[in-house]
Amino acid sequence: MKITPNEIEEENVVIDTSLTSESEHENRNRKVVKMVYKALLRGGNVEKEKLARVVGKQLEWRYHGPPHCQHMMKMLTGESTQQSFKFRPRRMRSVNGDRLIVEGWEDVGEYWVHVWRLKDGIITQLREYFNTLLTVVSEDENKGRFWRSTPWARVQGSLPDLVLSI
């Protein structure tokens, strides 16, 4: 699913833990993740407070890419307050109800994929891939491939290609 900057800007998050259906659960997770990108675009103390409410204190994080491109984790932890890198999501997909894959790019050399895992509206895990193509497959061999990086990135040159099993 492609999301536009307007969708990110307009999204308001209200976390309701009483939601029970799978689609309501996925919609809540989408709203939380969209709110993260919106807060990062806007910056400021109010947005930091919003992030603190949805990012778990024991966030599990893994990164693959050039060391100088670890933008998301630095922003989430407050280590970087610079607005020099802007995450602009281009595509979002829900996987297994508790994970969201978000992909974005700006130019050659700025391609990224985030795999978010949420529990009860709180982000518990982030897998960040920068300048790395990603294929997401199911651990259940009957389900096969869930998602693959946009082919656009392949045309722009050679990038490492990883497989994430969930």
CA distance 161 to 103: 14
| Between 156 and 121, the higher pLDDT residue | 121
Please give the average per-residue pLDDT across 56-64, as a whole number.
90
Angle at 101 between CA 44 and CA 89, to 5 degrees: 45
What pLDDT is recorded for position 151?
Answer: 61
Write down the pTM of the prediction: 0.79
Tokens of 56: 């778990």
| Between 138 and 90, the higher pLDDT residue | 90
